[in-house]
Amino acid sequence: MFYILQTPLTDFANLIAGYFAEIWEFLIFIGRISAVIVVLVGAILWFTEVNSKRGKGLVFSGIMLAIVIQYFVTYPPAFIL
Protein backbone atom coordinates (compact mmCIF):
# COMPACT_ATOMS: atom_id res chain seq x y z
CA MET A 1 0.00 0.00 0.00
CA PHE A 2 1.18 3.44 -0.83
CA TYR A 3 0.54 6.26 1.57
CA ILE A 4 0.99 9.81 0.41
CA LEU A 5 2.72 11.82 3.08
CA GLN A 6 2.11 15.50 2.74
CA THR A 7 4.26 18.08 4.34
CA PRO A 8 2.72 20.79 6.51
CA LEU A 9 3.52 23.29 3.76
CA THR A 10 1.50 21.28 1.23
CA ASP A 11 -1.39 21.04 3.68
CA PHE A 12 -1.26 24.80 4.16
CA ALA A 13 -1.22 25.40 0.40
CA ASN A 14 -4.25 23.11 -0.02
CA LEU A 15 -6.05 25.00 2.75
CA ILE A 16 -5.36 28.35 1.06
CA ALA A 17 -6.49 26.93 -2.31
CA GLY A 18 -9.75 25.84 -0.68
CA TYR A 19 -10.29 29.33 0.69
CA PHE A 20 -9.61 30.83 -2.74
CA ALA A 21 -12.19 28.47 -4.27
CA GLU A 22 -14.81 29.59 -1.71
CA ILE A 23 -14.03 33.25 -2.35
CA TRP A 24 -14.26 32.62 -6.10
CA GLU A 25 -17.76 31.10 -5.73
CA PHE A 26 -18.89 34.10 -3.69
CA LEU A 27 -17.52 36.54 -6.29
CA ILE A 28 -19.35 34.66 -9.07
CA PHE A 29 -22.57 34.91 -7.05
CA ILE A 30 -22.09 38.67 -6.53
CA GLY A 31 -21.29 39.12 -10.23
CA ARG A 32 -24.48 37.38 -11.32
CA ILE A 33 -26.63 39.43 -8.97
CA SER A 34 -24.89 42.64 -10.11
CA ALA A 35 -25.49 41.84 -13.78
CA VAL A 36 -29.21 41.37 -13.16
CA ILE A 37 -29.50 44.57 -11.13
CA VAL A 38 -27.58 46.65 -13.70
CA VAL A 39 -29.76 45.37 -16.56
CA LEU A 40 -32.95 46.03 -14.60
CA VAL A 41 -31.94 49.57 -13.62
CA GLY A 42 -30.85 50.27 -17.19
CA ALA A 43 -34.12 48.96 -18.59
CA ILE A 44 -36.10 51.12 -16.18
CA LEU A 45 -34.14 54.22 -17.16
CA TRP A 46 -34.37 53.39 -20.85
CA PHE A 47 -38.06 52.52 -21.09
CA THR A 48 -39.32 55.27 -18.80
CA GLU A 49 -37.24 57.73 -20.84
CA VAL A 50 -35.82 59.33 -17.70
CA ASN A 51 -32.30 59.02 -19.10
CA SER A 52 -32.49 56.95 -22.27
CA LYS A 53 -28.81 57.19 -23.17
CA ARG A 54 -27.57 56.07 -19.75
CA GLY A 55 -30.21 53.32 -19.65
CA LYS A 56 -28.99 51.85 -22.94
CA GLY A 57 -25.43 51.98 -21.66
CA LEU A 58 -26.37 50.22 -18.43
CA VAL A 59 -28.25 47.49 -20.29
CA PHE A 60 -25.26 46.91 -22.56
CA SER A 61 -22.86 46.94 -19.59
CA GLY A 62 -25.02 44.48 -17.66
CA ILE A 63 -25.14 42.11 -20.61
CA MET A 64 -21.36 42.33 -21.00
CA LEU A 65 -20.93 41.65 -17.28
CA ALA A 66 -23.15 38.58 -17.54
CA ILE A 67 -21.10 37.30 -20.50
CA VAL A 68 -17.82 37.79 -18.62
CA ILE A 69 -19.22 36.05 -15.52
CA GLN A 70 -20.43 33.14 -17.65
CA TYR A 71 -16.97 32.85 -19.21
CA PHE A 72 -15.39 32.58 -15.76
CA VAL A 73 -17.99 30.00 -14.74
CA THR A 74 -17.23 27.94 -17.84
CA TYR A 75 -13.43 28.23 -17.52
CA PRO A 76 -12.66 28.67 -13.81
CA PRO A 77 -9.10 29.00 -12.53
CA ALA A 78 -7.54 25.85 -11.08
CA PHE A 79 -7.27 26.17 -7.32
CA ILE A 80 -6.18 22.53 -6.89
CA LEU A 81 -2.50 21.91 -6.24
**For the chain, domain boundaries:** 27-81
Distance of CA 64 to the CA centre of its chain: 13
Considering the chain, what is the average pLDDT of its residues? Answer: 88
Taking a C-beta distance cutoff of 8 angstroms, is the pair 35, 51 a contact? no
* 79 has a pLDDT exceeding 80: no
pLDDT higher than threshold 70 for residue 9: yes
**Structure confidence by residue, pLDDT tens digits, 51-64:** 899 999 999 999 99
Is 72 a residue whose pLDDT tops 80?
Answer: yes
Higher-scoring residue by pLDDT: 13, 22: 22
Name the pTM for this structure.
Answer: 0.76
How far apart CA 49 and CA 34 sit, in angstroms, is 22
Q: How confident is the model at residue 5, as a pLDDT?
A: 64
Q: What burial class does residue 70 get, using C-beta atoms within 10 Å of its C-beta: 0-12 exposed, 13-18 middle, 19+ buried?
A: middle
Query: How far, in Å, CA of 79 to CA of 24, rounded?
Result: 10
Calpha distance 30→72 (Å, rounded): 13
